Amino acid sequence: MADLSVNVAGVSFKNPIIPASGVFGYGHEYEELFPLSELGGIATKGTTITKRNGNDAPRIAETTGGMLNSVGLQNPGIDAFIKKELPYLMQKDTVILANIAGSTVKECVTIAQQLEQTDVHMIELNISCPNVKQGGMAFGASCAGAESITRAVRKATTKPLVVKLSPNVTNIAEIAKATETAGADALSLINTLLGMRIDIRSRRPILKNNMGGMSGAAIFPIAVRMVWQCANAVRIPIIGMGGVTTGKDAIELMMAGASAVQVGAAIFTDPYAPIRIIREMNQWLDENHIATARELTGSVKPW
Amino acid sequence: MADLSVNVAGVSFKNPIIPASGVFGYGHEYEELFPLSELGGIATKGTTITKRNGNDAPRIAETTGGMLNSVGLQNPGIDAFIKKELPYLMQKDTVILANIAGSTVKECVTIAQQLEQTDVHMIELNISCPNVKQGGMAFGASCAGAESITRAVRKATTKPLVVKLSPNVTNIAEIAKATETAGADALSLINTLLGMRIDIRSRRPILKNNMGGMSGAAIFPIAVRMVWQCANAVRIPIIGMGGVTTGKDAIELMMAGASAVQVGAAIFTDPYAPIRIIREMNQWLDENHIATARELTGSVKPW
Amino acid sequence: MKYTQGEYRLIRKDNLGQDLYRFVLECPEITAVAAPGQFVHILPKGSTLRRPISICQIDRQAGTLTLVFAVRGEGTAVLADLRAGDYVDMLAPLGHGFTIQPDANRVILMGGGIGVPPMLALAEIYGERATVISGFRSMPAVMLQEEFAKTGAKTILCTDDGTAGLHAMVTEPLLEEIRQEKPDMICACGPTPMLRAIAKIAEEQGIFCEVSMEERMGCGIGACLVCACKMKLANGEIHAAHVCKDGPVFNAKEVAWNG
Amino acid sequence: MKYTQGEYRLIRKDNLGQDLYRFVLECPEITAVAAPGQFVHILPKGSTLRRPISICQIDRQAGTLTLVFAVRGEGTAVLADLRAGDYVDMLAPLGHGFTIQPDANRVILMGGGIGVPPMLALAEIYGERATVISGFRSMPAVMLQEEFAKTGAKTILCTDDGTAGLHAMVTEPLLEEIRQEKPDMICACGPTPMLRAIAKIAEEQGIFCEVSMEERMGCGIGACLVCACKMKLANGEIHAAHVCKDGPVFNAKEVAWNG
Ligand SMILES: Cc1cc2nc3c(=O)[nH]c(=O)nc-3n(C[C@H](O)[C@H](O)[C@H](O)COP(=O)(O)OP(=O)(O)OC[C@H]3O[C@@H](n4cnc5c(N)ncnc54)[C@H](O)[C@@H]3O)c2cc1C
Ligand SMILES: Cc1cc2nc3c(=O)[nH]c(=O)nc-3n(C[C@H](O)[C@H](O)[C@H](O)COP(=O)(O)OP(=O)(O)OC[C@H]3O[C@@H](n4cnc5c(N)ncnc54)[C@H](O)[C@@H]3O)c2cc1C
Ligand SMILES: Cc1cc2nc3c(=O)[nH]c(=O)nc-3n(C[C@H](O)[C@H](O)[C@H](O)COP(=O)(O)O)c2cc1C
Ligand SMILES: Cc1cc2nc3c(=O)[nH]c(=O)nc-3n(C[C@H](O)[C@H](O)[C@H](O)COP(=O)(O)O)c2cc1C
Ligand code: FES
Ligand code: FES
């Protein structure tokens, strides 16, 4: 049994695997299948100040090796999150990352301030949601935007602050640097890539929102590249994600520079994916006589 | 039999299907399998002024639903192209798009001037190659870069000028507009997305160039989205590509806004892909009682 | 809710018509807890997303579930290629089924097209107390009429083109049946316009009505919020419920039909 | 070059050792034009890219090709799951084989590991005029020795760990064989360090030597320029040749071994 524990920005994880924000709700539904305590952590659904119903359905489409979603940040709002969801989650003996997604800097600051009063372990600031008209990706698309929102939220919280980056940019390493400068404790990437599918019979986009965010195995090479570029650009740790489906994928992303790994769309294909990935990592490490998962981080040797 | 003919920037194609630059060489090898005259057109391998050997091997890696390449513009140089390859191609009764990829504006202008003396039908200016250190994607990553190189090449040629855009940007519609303003007659998109894969046993990137361009079915939703965004931003026609594998994919990309469609990685899976796609388009149009392929272009109705 | 995920053996496969298949699957632990109106979430090999298919019959004794599905796209085409003896990856049983009223005297079950199969599990419960009104486009699409007859239920068949049964929409015999004797409940599954029309009739006549809704899904268990369906809350507010967990069966009155 | 693409029937499949398989495929139009040293480009179901596999035996009369491959990654694992009777998508025969010298008196065929199989098609041509030196890591990896013996060729077996045959690198018996009688030609296939060592010996001894090179491929027919292999031109310039079309068999002297 290899030692799978990792540390990200001072927070200890029993293993590096974290269901990604948005695919896992607040965990309840998966407790029917496995104990949440087996997970390294849980990233909760993006929270706004007030309740949001999200975009109109259909909100999902399949693509080769992946999928598109346009949920659009449906959530019960920060008060309901803190009162109804968090107390339950905080008992689960796993790291809780509260994903926040305000549509203005002020809104994000308010949410962070409210979370400051809770026991949540980390804040994951989503500056990269492609499915909302205001805020979301707009913050993450420029260095100035990323820097200013990070700086503001940084001031509002003493909790470890993870900033979640968008892949829909020309130079993600520059944005990573701006975020580091502004005080982020860690980065998480990648969020979804903006995509579209059309039903050719009806000549209408499949998603009611026309476009949506692409995730799943198809985007994995882009995630590996971006994690590697960011790891070369910043000193803060990176939580990698994007298309991770197997233990080997998680190991590859860690070699590229990730300290921990989130799993999204793969959970739709296999609801046990996070647990399977932990088991597969363990097995590969043992077979290759590697004692700790930690030593994988950033160990790729470029040509 | 539906009428498959299309017109792009004044050039008539017998059908909308064109093997993409880089996957089809100069066509010789595929003549063993089918007559080149069955194709709508052929986009030739990117040409520089002098001969280039390209990057070191390995230059290819497989990914879920796609692949990465890092060929890096190996080609015999413009003189050899004009003397040895073009005369043969020009006899093939299909539209020839000469793809050019200089590493400086001046180089692109020189190549365009040399092609001006030939019968080649269109010039496809590649401002988006992710696999070379100079030029390439650097031109295509900013509006100013795209505009200045397009303007310079525009002055150097009277031939229809197609500018090939990179998907590795924050806002492709803005770059499309800059290119239109600078005098492009058409756009082609998307080139490959920058990606990476690591061999976890050796902890080395699979590609000797570390990173490479991702193509194939996996990127199709991104191509549909970008073609749609550009079609909504410019008035010049668009040649769409990126992951097209079936006749239905080609139809979807045309509905998103493409007037013609290039086929790349799919040819590696099925060397008959372009011919099969033409047949499948024909069949779908007939089944759906659609008389011409032309009427597909831009016919999606957004929600 | 109690669900499991696993590979279950396909013990029988029948072709019920063009692009229409019936699967009988051996899955005792699912059968033990499944109820009419619930669905299974099947993974076609090679797909990222699972496909929701309603439960058609539940045989607790044999430990088998029956499903009926139409080939619509790539995933259902892959499923249609499976052979008896193959294994099927299912996450099931999911969702919220129809309310079962043990004391009901009269229940009307309404199915339209591929919405007909889930009515069978209900007909097997209500037997002679049920009237099944099923509608299809045309004769070749008609299915399961013998199976419904076997339950003892009264069956009324309609086709849009009159090639089999009544040349009528399902709402015509529904109104006639209500006139004859007001039912305790109406259960319905089918295309949204049909459900909307039935819901309107039920509301006007003051009959309790449940409808099974369709929406594209991700997780299938209520975690991803993909399968939104708009509901009117008592206070008039619009709320996005989720077909996979809050449904697929909803009280017809609560659905925001124009939302 | 003349090649075709199609689905060809796998008529026999043997397991030759751990993760090592032999396929016999029925493909008369390919067999008719195939030559030793050429390869086939096989598409595993679900892959984007084909896998190059060398031709091991060519039986023109039966219209069959034999291939031997090791399971290395996902694609070869999918191939290993095929059963006799299944169809295999091949683009073949591709590339440039070994120069056949009908008048040669003595040819040395050198194979290392999974580079051994292509030597069999040559041994079947040269028979007693051939000496086959094959090297493997260890006994369990040894293969095809009986088949080589049947051709009438002299066979010399080496293993890195001495568990079968000589405890030696293949270059040791090569030097010994050359000492005994200088061959007209050396043909080799195997890992690059082995080929480099053989090329050096051949050059020093002035023996014509051809080597089969490996590189990752896209199209397999010379169009995409993916499979670059550096060659020294006569003028000393370095040129990127392509394994799929200019090779896989190259004159050992022309390969830029350090490039
Ligand atoms: C609760 C529920 C119960 C259902 N019961 C049945 C049934 O008993 N028999 C039956 O034939 N069909 C049923 N359907 C519809 C069935 O799920 C779709 O026909 C099927 O998912 C289409 O998949 P595909 O691979 O053929 O299409 P594709 O177009 O390849 O599917 C792509 C994606 O879209 C989704 N999708 C496409 N159409 C639908 C749809 N109409 N509803 C939901 N998702 C869709 C798929 O699940 C998949 O995620 C049910 C749907 C729901 C929501
Ligand atoms: C001309 C030639 C002849 C060959 N002959 C044989 C043979 O007779 N028997 C045999 O077992 N192997 C042979 N190989 C090697 C064989 O092609 C690889 O082992 C195989 O492609 C690996 O595929 P995979 O699906 O197992 O690996 P994956 O890692 O899943 O493959 C991913 C991609 O990388 C490519 N790739 C990975 N390793 C290699 C490699 N070593 N060489 C070329 N491409 C590679 C694959 O083709 C595929 O495109 C030959 C290679 C070449 C170039
Ligand atoms: C249905 C769905 C909903 C998502 N919602 C959120 C969200 O609320 N906040 C967020 O930061 N990311 C959200 N994401 C993005 C994922 O957290 C993750 O970044 C992305 O899906 C890439 O990982 P994957 O390829 O493993 O899915 C969502 C993704 C999906 C598929
Ligand atoms: C091996 C390879 C080489 C390529 N070379 C070029 C090139 O020289 N010039 C160019 O503009 N695009 C080049 N491309 C990009 C393709 O023309 C096309 O834009 C891209 O592959 C997306 O299409 P696809 O998904 O259908 O492959 C190359 C692509 C591949 C796979
Ligand atoms: S499908 Fe995930 S919430 Fe319904
Ligand atoms: S693989 Fe395409 S040129 Fe060799």
Helix residue spans in D42-91 (DSSP H):
74-80
- Cis peptide bond upstream of D28, omega within 30: no
Residue C40's closest CA among C113, C107, C103, C93? C93
Whole domain around residue A55: which residue ranges? 6-296
Q: How far is CA C219 from the centre of its chain?
A: 19
A172-188 pLDDT, tens digit per residue, is 999 999 999 999 999 99
Give the three-class secondary structure for B95: strand
Q: Mean pLDDT score of chain A, rounded to an integer?
A: 95
Residue A301 located in a structural domain: no
CATH at residue B86:
3.20.20.70
Does the beta-carbon distance from C47 to A54 stay under 8 Å? Answer: no
Does the beta-carbon distance from B60 to D216 stay under 8 Å? Answer: yes
Average pLDDT score over residue span C40-60: 97
To the nearest whole Å, the CA of B234 is away from the closest chain D CA by 32
Average pLDDT score over residue span C36-48: 97
Specify the residue for token string 């088998």.
C64
- The answer to whether the CB of C220 is under 6 A from ligand 5 is yes
Give the three-class secondary structure for D35: coil
> Would you state the pLDDT for residue A1?
85
> Would you state the pLDDT for residue B132?
62
Question: Confidence band (pLDDT; 50, 70, 90) for C201?
Answer: very high
Give the three-class secondary structure for B240: strand
Tell me how many residue pairs between chain A and chain C have CB atoms under 8 A apart: 103
Neighbours of A251 (CB within 10 A): 27
ipTM (interface pTM): 0.96
> Would you state the pLDDT for residue B137?
63
D5-24 pLDDT, tens digit per residue, is 999 999 999 999 999 999 99
Average pLDDT score over residue span A69-91: 95
Axis-axis angle for helices B105-116, B143-156 (nearest 10): 30
- Measured CA to CA, the distance from residue B206 to residue B194 in angstroms comes to 14
Domain count, chain A: 1
> Would you state the pLDDT for residue B103?
84
D10-65 pLDDT, tens digit per residue, is 999 999 999 999 999 999 999 999 999 999 999 999 999 999 999 999 999 999 99
Beta strands A41-43 and A95-100, pairing class: parallel
Average pLDDT score over residue span C134-157: 95
- Measured CA to CA, the distance from residue D50 to residue D70 in angstroms comes to 15
Question: Confidence band (pLDDT; 50, 70, 90) for C256?
Answer: very high
> Would you state the pLDDT for residue A133?
61
Average pLDDT score over residue span A185-210: 98
Determine which of C41, C47, C226, C230 to mutate to test the interface with A (most A C-beta atoms within 10 Å). Answer: C226
Residue B225 located in a structural domain: yes
> Would you state the pLDDT for residue C254?
94
> Would you state the pLDDT for residue A134?
60
D68-101 pLDDT, tens digit per residue, is 999 999 999 999 999 999 999 999 999 999 999 9
- The answer to whether the CB of D49 is under 6 A from ligand 6 is no
D140-178 pLDDT, tens digit per residue, is 999 999 999 999 999 999 999 999 999 999 999 999 999
- On the question of pLDDT at C169 being above 80, the answer is yes
| Residue among B33, B66, B74 whose CB faces D228 most closely | B74
Residue B126 located in a structural domain: yes
- Measured CA to CA, the distance from residue C34 to residue B106 in angstroms comes to 71
Specify the residue for token string 């020309």.
A170
Supply B15's token pair.
Answer: 């059908």
Torsion of CA D52, D53, D55, D56, to 10 degrees: 170
> Would you state the pLDDT for residue C247?
92
Residue A102 located in a structural domain: yes
Q: How far is CA C19 from the centre of its chain?
A: 18
* B71–D contact, CB cutoff 8 A: yes
Q: Could you tell me what percent of chain A has a pLDDT over 70?
A: 97
Residue A223 located in a structural domain: yes
pLDDT tens string for chain B (303 positions)?
899 999 999 999 999 999 999 999 999 999 999 999 999 999 999 999 999 999 999 999 999 999 999 999 899 999 999 999 999 999 999 999 999 998 889 999 999 999 999 999 999 999 986 666 665 567 778 888 899 999 999 999 999 999 999 999 999 999 999 999 999 999 999 999 999 999 999 999 999 999 999 999 999 999 999 999 999 999 999 999 999 999 999 999 999 999 999 999 999 999 999 999 999 999 999 999 999 999 999 999 999
Q: Give the Å distances, CA to CA, from D63 to A11, A265, A284, D29, D190.
A: 65, 47, 43, 8, 27
Residue B195, marked binder: no
CA A58 to centroid of ligand 6, rounded, Å: 42
Residue B281 located in a structural domain: yes
> Would you state the pLDDT for residue C233?
86
Question: Confidence band (pLDDT; 50, 70, 90) for C146?
Answer: very high
> Which residues contact residue B44 at a Cβ distance below 8 angstroms, ignoring those fewer than 6 apart?
B21, B24, B25, B26, B81, B85, B89, B96, B97, B98, B99
**Residue ranges of domains in chain C, CATH in brackets:** 4-94 (2.40.30.10), 107-212 (3.40.50.80)
Residues of A in contact with C217 (CB under 8 A): 60
> Would you state the pLDDT for residue B149?
93
> Would you state the pLDDT for residue C136?
96
> Which residues contact residue C81 at a Cβ distance below 8 angstroms, ignoring those fewer than 6 apart?
none
Supply B212's token pair.
Answer: 């490479």
Q: Give the Å distances, CA to CA, from D257 to A9, D134, D197, D229, D253.
A: 47, 22, 10, 10, 9
Question: In this structure, are residues D82 and D161 in contact, taking their beta carbons and an 8 Å threshold?
Answer: no
> Would you state the pLDDT for residue B128?
80
**pTM assigned to the model:** 0.97
Supply C192's token pair.
Answer: 């949204």
- The answer to whether the CB of B243 is under 6 A from ligand 4 is yes
Does the beta-carbon distance from C228 to A59 stay under 8 Å? Answer: yes
Average pLDDT score over residue span D237-246: 93
Residue B134 located in a structural domain: yes
- Residue C172 host element (H or E): helix C171-180
Residue B302 located in a structural domain: no
- The answer to whether the CB of D199 is under 6 A from ligand 6 is no
> Would you state the pLDDT for residue B107?
92
> Would you state the pLDDT for residue B141?
84
A250-302 pLDDT, tens digit per residue, is 999 999 999 999 999 999 999 999 999 999 999 999 999 999 999 999 999 99
Determine which of C49, C238, C243 to mutate to test the interface with A (most A C-beta atoms within 10 Å). Answer: C49
> Would you state the pLDDT for residue B135?
58
Residue B78, marked binder: no
